[in-house]
Amino acid sequence: MTKGQGFGFGMGKMKELADAFKKAQQVQEGARKLQEELEQMEIEGQARGGMVKVTLSGNQEPRSVAISPEALNEGAEVLSDLVTTAMRDAYAKSTETMRQRMEELTGGLNLPGL
């Protein structure tokens, strides 16, 4: 082994490793805050112009379903389709919100898989 080379970790590599740990801690703290924000969010999905509305939290926990009197008059099969459509709309909006927020959190960190 040549003097000053150690185990392949020069001072530059140690600094990179320390920076990586610091970034990881920042992402972890940001993820914790993001989870708290998502729990407080309310994201609404709708079907047929608001005849049926479904509300989810930002982390996709069901919160409420609102069905208009007009939707009740549509019959069970149509009402079921309207509820499903509103649920899918809320889910898609929630998923997009989470994706955007994670991109904001991890932006510029070049993390693999994110």
| 36: in domain | no
Strand bridging mode 62-67 / 52-57 = antiparallel
73-77, 100-104, 110-114: which is most confident: 73-77
| 5: in domain | no
The fraction of the chain above a pLDDT of 90, given in percent, is 49
| 114: in domain | no
Cα–Cα distance, 55 to 31 (Å, whole number): 23
Q: Supply the range of the domain harboring residue 97.
A: 42-107
Write out pLDDT tens, residues 60-80: 999 999 999 999 999 999 999
Please count the structural domains in the chain.
1
Query: What phi and psi, each to the nearest 5 degrees, are found at residue 70?
Result: -65, -40
| 72: in domain | yes
| 4: in domain | no
Write out pLDDT tens, residues 16-71: 888 778 888 888 888 888 888 888 999 999 999 999 999 999 889 999 999 999 99
CATH for 53: 3.30.1310.10
